[in-house]
Structure 1
C-alpha cells in the first residue's frame, strides 16, 4: 500500500527493483533519471530534500 510520502518521493521509497521507466514524467526521461539520482546522492541534494520533510510542521 502506498503512503502519502511514497507518492511525494518515489525515489526514496521505491522498491529497488522498480524500473526507472516507471518514475513519474516530472523526473524527466527514464534514460537520464539514474544519472540525476547519482548526482543528487553525490552532492547531498537528496538528503537535503529528505531532511526538509523531517522538519517539524512539514
Structure 2
C-alpha cells in the first residue's frame, strides 16, 4: 500500500467522522430547541383556552 493511498484513506475517514459528528450535534441542538420551546407553546395554548373557558353565559328564564 503506498503512502499516498494510506494518507488519502486516513483523510477520508477523518473528514467523514467529523461530518457525522457535526451533523449529529446539529440535529441534537435542533431537538433541544424544539423541546425548550414546547413548554412556552403549551403555556400559550393553555392561556388561550383558559381565557375562552372563562366566558360565562347566563340563561334568561
Above 0.5 in TM-score? no
- TM-score, structure 1 length as denominator? 0.26
- TM-score, structure 2 length as denominator? 0.25
Structure number with greater Rg is: 2
Q: Answer 1 or 2: which has greater helix percent.
A: 2
Larger RCO: 1 or 2 (CA < 8 Å, sep 6+): 1
